[in-house]
Amino acid sequence: MKRLWLVFAQSVTVLLAAYFVVATLKPEWLNRRPTLPTVVPVLESAAPSAPSGQATLPGFRAAAQVASPAVVSINTSKAPENSPQSNDPWFRFFFGDQGQSQPQTGLGSGVIVSPAGYILTNNHVIEEADQIEVVLNDGRKSAAQVIGTDPETDLAILKIELTELPVITLGNSDALAIGDPVLAIGNPFGVGQTVTSGIVSALGRTQLGINTFENFIQTDAAINPGNSGGALVDTNGQLMGINTAIYSRSGGSMGIGFAIPTSTARSVMEAIVRDGQVTRGWIGVEPQDLTAELAESFGLPAGTGVIITGVLQNGPAAQAGIRPGDVITSVGGRAVNNVAQLLSAVAALTPGTPATLEVVRKDGKNPVQVTPGKRTAPKAQQQPPR
């Protein structure tokens, strides 16, 4: 009996093995259709779609295509300063034409802001230039006329006589936030138009010693010599600032660049186009940032207001009754928390038109009416490197 059971078990094992071999290699012998792999269609775009109601942000390519045509290269030249001895025949006989110096040339960038041909750039790009040539991205060239300059913000307005000009859209720089992506467009080192990307690293940078009126956007988008006057744009291709200066130990980009916000550039441009110059208010005070200890003694929160340490005799502030030791907390409705903000707020006042200053003294807060005078720009200004 045991022998029969062993034979039966071996027979079943052999049959099962044969069945699996046939089913795998020749399924048609068993009238079975082979199992086909499941086919999953592959879409052309595997990118996930944006959630309902959420707009997709435009890429850097779109921003560059929108803004780049309006960014121009600016070539400047200045006649050489000849040595007084260059016309002496004996000097030329012994030393040749060493007194004949070469013309000074410069490179920079600019942004077309009007179909009428107005171009926004830095003052230090075109300062003291005898000839200015503007080269458009489409290859066209034109001589440029200086409409006006404002050394205190390092801005200048040029004008070219060409038609069908690409124009950049002025954006709202006040809406920028730290971390927003931006593009810097210009002509670094004269290699041709170049686009670099980065983010907004900081806002409201002051006391850098670059300009009199400072309110810079800081970015890590690569800015190099030749980028001055070029565009800082957002991801929509709208102008957020004018690239002006860099912090560098080598002369090249170290990831710290500064741009003048469009809000400042717009007001300067409108004043220059309208009046040929920028007119600013002046009240004749010497301010100083308020320390935390002094703020506490006046009953003010830390970082609020500016203390006046000196008042010009017979100046607008003195005539209005402002005296040393006063703390100014607002000018014309604009809060001031440091010297830079006070300077900008006073400069924004219209000369000859009374304005209200909030002044804090030991006896409390007092509104003071001041009639500002006209600010006189300093003759010599230290200019940043291109």
Interacting residues of 102 by C-beta distance below 8 A, sequence separation 6+:
80
| Domains of the chain by start residue, with CATH | 57-81+107-278 (2.40.10.120), 281-374 (2.30.42.10)
Q: Which helix (H) or strand (E) holds 3?
A: helix 2-25
- In the structure, what pLDDT confidence band is assigned to residue 5 with cuts at 50, 70 and 90? low
Beta-bridge mates of residue 112? 119
**pLDDT tens string 159-190:** 999 999 999 999 999 899 999 999 999 998 88
352: left (phi over 0), alpha (psi -120 to 50) or beta: left
User: Which of 309, 271, 259 has the alpha carbon at shortest distance from 289?
Assistant: 309
Tens digit of each residue's pLDDT (9 = 90 or more) over 83-133: 555 566 655 555 555 555 566 677 899 999 999 999 999 999 998 888 999
Stretch 5-33: mean pLDDT:
64
Instruction: Kindly list the catalytic residues.
Output: 124, 154, 228
HSE-up (13 A, CA, CB side) for residue 273: 16
d(CA 168, CA 113): 6
CB 144, CB 134: distance < 8 Å: yes
**pLDDT per residue as tens digits for the range 276-335:** 888 889 899 999 888 888 888 888 888 788 999 999 998 999 998 899 988 998 998 888
H or E element that contains 85: none
CA distance 339 to 345: 10
pLDDT at 305: 86
